[in-house]
Structure 1
Amino acid sequence: LELYGENGRLEAPSGESINIPPHSTKPVLLSTLVSKPTINVTLHAAVRSGRIGASVQAVDANIGSDWLPAAASPGTRAVLPGIPKDATSVRLVAYATGSGDADLKIQLSGPSGSLTPAGHEKLSVKSRMTSAIDLGDLTKGEPGSLVLTPQGSGAAPFVAALRVTRGKGDQQETAFIPASTPIESRGTVADNRSKGSTLTLTAPDEAATVRVTSSAGSQGGGPASREVTVKAGTTLALDPPRPDGAKGSYAVTVERLDGGPVYASRLLEVKAGGMPMFTIQGLPDDRGTVAVPRGNQDLSLLNDD
């Protein structure tokens, strides 16, 4: 487990040789790997043999907790979809993965178009170092997504994620939005509810048309669909169509029908004692369809010499 802070790689010798038995899960408390507390850290799980799946549970006694899934593969551009309209604090954390520095232009894609947040126009990330910037309540009451692009002529690969906080005082809760990949064909997310589910769609380049389909409920009902157009450079937040006679939870599938790339996420929330408990999950392409080779008749196979 490699940890990178604002000055480069952190010394964490106990994280360099972790053995995970097959078909098992092994928790590792990251704070025990370093000698002193550090904020804004990038984690890289480098696998020497075999294959693993990894996720981070981030816990803060004051602003809640959530699971942080892996960010999209390093690239020279990143889209982070699904900042809630009532976000009270947004922090951007980025890490430059290559040998070059990444100078990033920050843009907020909202319902009416894209803009550069005043005072937060760019973020400079040194090679193999982690940089962070607090963006405050940049959405100003409207849902949005963050788009990061190279600033100037140079471009260096990087990864990025957002920490989003809702609520105030002792009624705060946190979720994370890692950089996502576009939906090439379709993306699906499970466990939607009739209340508390919000779907966010972002078309950073060209306008796009998608079909949003809700499956039958886990306890009955029938599927429901609607087509939605997302204008170029905008973010659209909507409630998924409720299945006919829905009972229980249901899945939501987003299919790209036409236009440019589409990025999507789902916010799932429930209020408990006034606390806005929520989580945000990206909808990358689920690769649920495959190309099947076309077959032709060949009667020569029946010949018997």
Structure 2
Amino acid sequence: MTRSGPVLAVDVGGTSIKAAVLDPDGTEALRRVVPTPFADGPDAVIGALRDLAADRVAAASDAGSPVRAVGVVVPGVVDPDAGIARYATNIGWRNAPLRDLVTSSTGLPTAIGHDVHAAGLAELALGAAVGVADALIAVLGTGVASVVVSGGRVVRGATGTPGEIGHIPVGDPGVRCGCGAFGCTEMFSSARGVARLYAERTGRPLDAAEVVARLGTDPDAAAVWQQATGTLARALVCGTLLTDPARIVLAGGLAQAGDALVIPTKDAVAAGMPWRAAPDLVASPLGARAGLLGAGILARELS
């Protein structure tokens, strides 16, 4: 594969599966998004992934821009060398041979990676971590996770799961997470967590974007947001003390809240370690596209 040709990028999330054909500069074409059928079980999610990948490969060929490779990023524990999704709480699969399954449905070489690791690659190449040697990139979507950058490189760790701030237990210890532990950050600071907190407080089902839109006019939304940002800040303090980043980047769909997220989180992080200077904290310009762009980078690295 040449690095100049288009590739297919697929980002599997707990809420939706996004796919697009990407040029080397990240320009998207033929984007399509389908719901993640997690309620129907892991086999249904795999089927939706394979169907979407095959559909977009065919669409690209019909449009006269055939793709040369596929990059798929997924949540949970991933073995990229083997092309296997080992485990994901939100989806429920175990040891799913995604690389082989996607290759069989598209006929193309396929790279499998962790969605947050891929988002980190995108931030380093195209986003808010360009030129930053040491960074902590927190991705706030259906769940919460982070990428540790040290010396300009994404840290892989012993098991491929460094920076799991979504499961640092800094929230209410009486709330059980889907992972089985209690008080995990993502139960309060993810998009799903914000929606859960608001529904429990008011009895009204709103998604996180709708809660954010009510800030300034809805005291319940303000209270939920304060809990979400405060919990996130405590996790980021832990991450900062462990990894000492020069910059914290807030990425993922929830980061599109902009200053409404950055300002209270930044203030709470600074208050959480008054004895030292807090790292710079910014929202990613890539928003929810970081995972998809990272999937494209993985596909382009195939030779």
* TM-score, structure 1 as length reference: 0.25
Q: Indicate the structure with greater strand content.
A: 1
* TM-score, structure 2 as length reference: 0.25
Q: Indicate the structure with greater helix content.
A: 2
